[in-house]
Structure 1
Amino acid sequence: MSIGTVEIITGRERRRRWSVADKLRILAECEAPGVQVAEVAARHGVYRSLVFQWRRQARDGLLVAEPTPEFVPVRVADVDRRDEPLPEPEPTPPPSRKAAAIEIELPDGIRLRVGEEVGLVALRRVLAALRG
């Protein structure tokens, strides 16, 4: 009598926490010519509806890559500046008009005040971060 192997198929894992980088990598695989979303989703063990949800989030600006940290050159100078006077602060110009702003209060009590200079993509990213 021979002993065989048994493979247990449990289906897709539920409630896995995918990193933003993983989501974007899977979405990039889906963009290749001739690739079907269902095949990519099955290869990674996720439902294709979840991949479509990530695609919508990326299109709406809610799923974006984290900025890459960069090194900044720094030079340390050994200078004694105790005798130098401090520069005069530049006067702030008077406001020409009152800037338009909206205030958003989330259900948990967090208030967010946004000026008109904030773009839609940035606002969506902030709201997504506050929602958790």
Structure 2
Amino acid sequence: MGRIEILTGVERRRVWTDGEKLRILDEVETSGSGVAEIARRHDILPQQIYTWRKKLGRDNRPADRSGVRLLPVALIGPDADDETDRTAAAERAAPKRSVKPSRIEIGCRGGRVLKVDASIAPEKLKALIRSVEEA
């Protein structure tokens, strides 16, 4: 027979301390069991565990949900003595570019995509991104 808990008094909700919440969240992360199984074990709803994760900063989803992603960058240093060696090294590292002017596509909130010329001034680009995301 399962455990039965009878709640009496005016307050019908259980109160979990931050320590208890963190212990349950640690159990979810380390046990290998699913959230639903851990929730059943502690007689709570799985949604409660997800809410605790958000409130206590333990959310396991990707840290940056703003849509901003960092791209890898390769720097070519002036390690060659000759100017032609540096130019040749830069050409090998840089992909061949088309004759068309370069464009940048930026994914914004709400699925909007901002397409701009690559030569746009950074301040103008910031203003455009802000206005698109606020709209």
Structure with larger RCO (C-alpha < 8 A, sep 6+): 1
TM-score, normalised to structure 2, is 0.34
Structure with the largest fraction of helix = 2
TM-score, normalised to structure 1, is 0.35
